[in-house]
Every structure is written in structure tokens, then in C-alpha cells.
Amino acid sequence: MNGNPIFVAIDTPDQARAAALLAAVGPHVGGVKLGLEFFCACGQPGVRAVAAGRRVFLDLKLHDIPNTVASAVRSVAALAPDLLTIHASGGAAMMQAARQASEAAALDGKRVRLLGVTVLTSFDAADLDAVGQRGAVHDQTLRLAALAQACGLDGAICSPHEAAALRAECGPDFLLVVPGVRPQKFDIADQKRVMTPAQAIAAGADHLVIGRPITAAPDPAAAARAIVAELGL
């Protein structure tokens, strides 16, 4: 683990609130994760305004035909995000097209690193079964991560419960970015497969995505500092 592994998830359509939260917690985290809620409300101008000078994880979970996803990757590459998500369940052709687009749109030799979303941390085995994906969550996660790696993606999104197995399967250079991270005694809310920050790092996570435990706290900066202290940073 190099540096601060925390990407704080700013999930709000309010650009002013996002900017205020980042001003408070920015010194205590490694970067910011901006997702669909923020991006649909504020667009690329909002990303530029809020995240200037910060490491940006753009969590858009792209999933469409290969040509459309490739075009989307090229469109957001101008923002120079550090990380961008696409759904690994979109298949090999889609992921390969995304990788090619990221290479073609590289700025100053630096391209957007792509992460394959495996199984959402709000899913459990019953949810997978309901959408026609038979088998254990663990097996589906490993299957999709291996496919993402074979297609040239830089890493995967997985729950902390699959991190150790993915690290063993995919090796040390495949990025593992882990949501579903909750400090001890924090309500897990709509997440179903969670661990504490320290447990997730011990399991093999490179980066942690932490939202509500920081952003919904009475003092977000203090909450971020507490998590950093828990990690021994």
C-alpha cells in the first residue's frame, strides 16, 4: 500500500455540497470518487470545478455495446481521471474496445486506468439468482475479474470478501478497488458484503471507497482522520 488508499465517495447532485465536503476531507484522503449521481447532475464542468488538482475516480459503471462504451471512454478521457469503471458483465468485446479507446485518448502518455465492476456489494446470492446468474457470488466475482484482466483492464471492483481470492488469482499488479468498507460499529445500510478498512487492506485491497461513514458524519474531517488512524497512516 503506497500513500493514502482512501477514495472518498461524494454521492450528491449538489455541486456546492460536493465542493464543501472535499474542502473538509481532502487533506485526509487519497482522492475523490464521483459517481453517476454527481455526474448526471453536474457533468464534466462539475468534475473539473470540484476535483481540480485531486486524484479522481470516475465511477460511471459503463455498460453498453462496444462502440458506445468506447466513445464514452474517449469523451471522459479529457477529464484525465485516474480511474474509470465499466461493467465486466458487458463482455470481452466491450472491455477490449474500452481499453483500446483509453489508449487512443491518452494525454501526455497517460491513459485512464479501467476497472471492471464484478458483483455489486449490494448483491448477495439471492440477488444474483433473481437476475439469472446461477452460482456463488465468490465464483461470479472471480470469473468476471479474470475476464477483465484477460481483456486488458487494469483492475477490478470487488467486495472486501473477495479481495484475497482475487489477489491470489490475478497477481500483485492487478488493481483491487474495494467498496463496502465500514468502520467498526457503523451501520452497513444497503451493503451486504462488508469489512472494516483495516480488514479490507489486509485482504489485499489497493484502494478503499468510503462514502457515508465520512460524508454523513457530523464532522466529516474527523471521521476521515479516524479511519486514517485506524489504518496506521
Catalytic residues: 61
Look at the alpha carbons of 83, 88, 91, 92 in this order and tell me if their dihedral is positive or negative.
positive
User: What span, in angstroms and rounded, lies between the C-alpha atoms of 70 and 144?
Assistant: 19
Q: Torsion over CA of 48, 50, 56 and 58, rounded to 10 degrees?
A: -80
Cell numbers standing for residue 157: 471492483
Cell numbers standing for residue 84: 474509470
